[in-house]
């Protein structure tokens, strides 16, 4: 809303281009001002209640989204992780998806993926003992075998080699 002492058309036209809701000339008619403020307040309230409804609808779909993300990660654990791509897959904002996942699972998406990768690595270590550690590293999505070994030891408490030895059939 723009209050002005200038009644020139060019000022009004510029104001319209800038997205001004209304152009009131001074001296202002108080009833016109209050009427305009009431309309603006009502429009904002309607827009606000619409966005709340959208948020509720999104919240109702949250369990589905979480399950979908878990499913994707369990099938694509060996691929390079990209949060933006994952968020696009479920039509959500990446930061909202991260917060939602953390709130619903008490884990970050990255921690969940690490958990899956380590579990798959354990399966390879015991089920396919002929595989070398660097091969298993690549199979579960880690291009750096040294990083994989450190992460595995941190998560499991033993190195991949020691795990394989302890769990030989």
Q: What integer pLDDT is reported at residue 49 of this predicted model?
A: 59
Q: Is residue 72 left, alpha or beta, with left meaning phi > 0 and alpha meaning psi from -120 to 50?
A: alpha
Mean pLDDT by 10 residues, the chain (169 residues): 72 71 78 82 71 57 88 94 89 89 94 97 95 95 95 96 87
Q: What integer pLDDT is reported at residue 58 of this predicted model?
A: 60
Q: What integer pLDDT is reported at residue 55 of this predicted model?
A: 58
Q: What integer pLDDT is reported at residue 68 of this predicted model?
A: 92
Tokens coding 146: 């040294």
Which class does domain 110-166 fall in?
Answer: mainly alpha
Decide: 36 and 59 in contact? Cβ < 8 Å: no
Q: What integer pLDDT is reported at residue 69 of this predicted model?
A: 94
Domain layout of the chain by residue ranges? 2-59, 62-106, 110-166
Decide: 133 and 145 in contact? Cβ < 8 Å: yes
Backbone φ and ψ of 3, nearest 5° = -105, 130
Q: What integer pLDDT is reported at residue 50 of this predicted model?
A: 56
């Amino acid at each position: 809303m723009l209050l002005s002492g200038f009644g020139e058309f060019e000022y009004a036209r510029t104001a319209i281009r800038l997205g001004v809701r209304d152009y009131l000339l001074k001296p202002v008619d108080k009833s016109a001002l209050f009427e305009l403020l009431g309309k603006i307040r009502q429009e904002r309230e309607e827009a606000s209640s619409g966005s709340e409804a959208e948020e509720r609808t999104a919240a109702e779909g949250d369990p589905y989204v979480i399950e979908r993300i878990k499913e994707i990660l369990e099938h694509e654990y060996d691929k390079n992780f990209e949060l933006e791509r994952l968020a696009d897959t479920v039509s959500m904002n990446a930061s909202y998806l991260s917060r939602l996942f953390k709130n619903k699972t008490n884990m970050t998406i990255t921690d969940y993926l690490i958990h899956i990768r380590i579990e798959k690595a354990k399966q390879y270590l015991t089920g396919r003992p002929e595989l070398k550690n660097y091969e298993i590293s690549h199979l579960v999505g880690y291009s750096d075998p040294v990083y994989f070994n450190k992460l595995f030891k941190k998560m499991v408490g033993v190195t991949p080699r020691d795990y394989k030895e302890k769990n030989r059939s």
